Amino acid sequence: MIENIIDKLKSVEGRFEELNKLLADPRVLGDPSQLKKLAKEHSLLSELVGVYHEFKEARARLEADQTMLSDKLDPEFKEMVEAEVAETEERLSELQDRLKVLLLPRNPNDEKNVIVEIRAGAGGDEAALFAADLARMYMRFAERQNWRTEVLTANETGIGGYKELIFVVEGEGAYGKLKYESGVHRVQRVPATESSGRIHTSTATVAILPEAEEVDVDIDLKDLRIDVFCSGGHGGQSVNTTYSAVRLTHLPTGVVVSCQDERSQVQNREKAMRVLRARLQNLAEEKHNAEMAQTRRSQVGTGDRSERIRTYNFPDGRVTDHRIGMTIHRINQTLDGELDEFINGLAAADQESRLKALSVQ
């Protein structure tokens, strides 16, 4: 199997050398769009090529030491060479495992921005409050990554919760990290409105969609019905007085997106289009996966909203991710955006699953 890996690595190394030349080409330097595209590819390949070079050096060192051992050596020197051989073999094994991981196919969406859609599920007002808690959790996580967030549309309740909240997360690798968060999240706690102290169970759904660019999804304006209406809300200037709210209906698919958060009809339309593009791209990818019989439905990262993926239990102060059986007794820190342990665990499980699939091919 290692020889097959080396063949792939030689091809990658050749492409990397080609990119080095292209990035020094004056014609490329004069084309910002082409330069950005090639620089991104170069950046993605650089780690893989660096590890491959280290692997080649270690392999050459091992062959030299093994050749040396075939000669008659002073016992003390021979012992030293044998120790170096053992150390190099261990390092080669580590590098080989790392190369396998780096060669796994990348999700082309991993580097994209994310559209996060959070909706209250079962549980009435408590579910809406939990939806608000989840929104804050993801916004705090984004803040810790130095990413930018912007609310696209919000349907608030009168007590500080959300029936629905859609926002964008802008940052390098946002989808690659947040993609495992899609699904049903469950909370168990005593609601503030509960006088008897009884624990309630409520849910909220989270959908993580890679933000589609205009070049990714081509929307024909003839396929859109655009309605404008007065924005609604809990009061404030311009509410219910101007036709600034926008509803987009994509006629071929029936997908409907509304936005009323901005005072400007143009701004609301622009935000609604961002959400619509993301949803249409997601629909297209789901259809493609079904047609290719590659639904990739596994315990990790299915994105199936009918799944209960995580439970937040306040009485015990614990958070449990049911896909990987991980429990952390730091519920307040988790809801404050400390998600790295869960995200890293899910990514590792996903990686292990894909490596197993690769080994049986």
What's the mean pLDDT in 32-44?
87
Per-residue model confidence (pLDDT) at position 354? 82
Q: Is residue 109 part of a domain?
A: no
pLDDT in tens, 120-171: 998 889 999 999 999 999 999 999 999 999 999 899 988 889 999 999 999 9
pLDDT in tens, 77-134: 888 989 999 999 999 999 988 888 888 877 878 888 999 999 999 888 999 999 999 9
Per-residue model confidence (pLDDT) at position 295? 31
Mark whether 39 and 176 lie in a shared domain.
Answer: no
Domain of 43 in residue numbering reads as 2-102
Q: Which amino acid is at 218?
A: D
Per-residue model confidence (pLDDT) at position 287? 74
How far apart are alpha carbons 30 and 33 in whole angstroms? 9
Mark whether 181 and 318 lie in a shared domain.
Answer: yes
Q: Is residue 296 part of a domain?
A: no
Question: Does residue 36 carry a pLDDT above 80?
Answer: yes
Q: Is residue 108 part of a domain?
A: no
- Looking only at the bridges linking them, the beta strands covering 308-313 and 183-189 are parallel
Question: Does residue 361 carry a pLDDT above 80?
Answer: no
Q: How many alpha carbons fall within 13 Å on the CB side of residue 66? A: 10
Q: Is residue 87 part of a domain?
A: yes
Q: Which two tokens stand for residue 210?
A: 């890679």
Q: Is residue 91 part of a domain?
A: yes
How does residue 228 score in pLDDT terms, banded at 50, 70 and 90?
A: confident
Looking at the DSSP bridge assignments, the partners of residue 187 are 202, 312
How big, in percent rounded to 5, are the helix, strand and coil portions of the chain?
50, 20, 30
Cα 248–Cα 207–Cα 317 angle in degrees, nearest 5 = 140
Q: Is residue 297 part of a domain?
A: no
How far apart are alpha carbons 69 and 80 in whole angstroms? 10
Whole-number mean pLDDT of the chain? Answer: 85
pLDDT in tens, 262-315: 888 888 988 898 899 889 888 887 775 665 444 334 433 433 444 689 999 999
Distances (CA, A) of 95 to 59, 81, 83, 89: 10, 21, 19, 10
Q: How many alpha carbons fall within 13 Å on the CB side of residue 207? A: 18
How does residue 58 score in pLDDT terms, banded at 50, 70 and 90?
A: very high
- Lowest model confidence (mean pLDDT) among 32-36, 173-177, 312-316: 32-36
**What is the phi-psi region of residue 126: left when phi exceeds 0, alpha when psi lies from -120 to 50, beta otherwise?**
alpha
Per-residue model confidence (pLDDT) at position 291? 52
Q: Is residue 352 part of a domain?
A: yes
Q: Is residue 129 part of a domain?
A: yes
Percent of the chain with pLDDT over 70: 88
What's the mean pLDDT in 61-65?
92
Mark whether 211 and 229 lie in a shared domain.
Answer: no
Provide the domain count of the chain.
3
Q: Which two tokens stand for residue 198?
A: 């009884």
Question: Does residue 241 carry a pLDDT above 70?
Answer: no
Mark whether 54 and 136 lie in a shared domain.
Answer: no
Of the residues 67, 82, 102, the one at which a domain ends:
102
Mark whether 199 and 265 lie in a shared domain.
Answer: no
What CATH number should be reported for the domain holding residue 198?
A: 3.30.70.1660
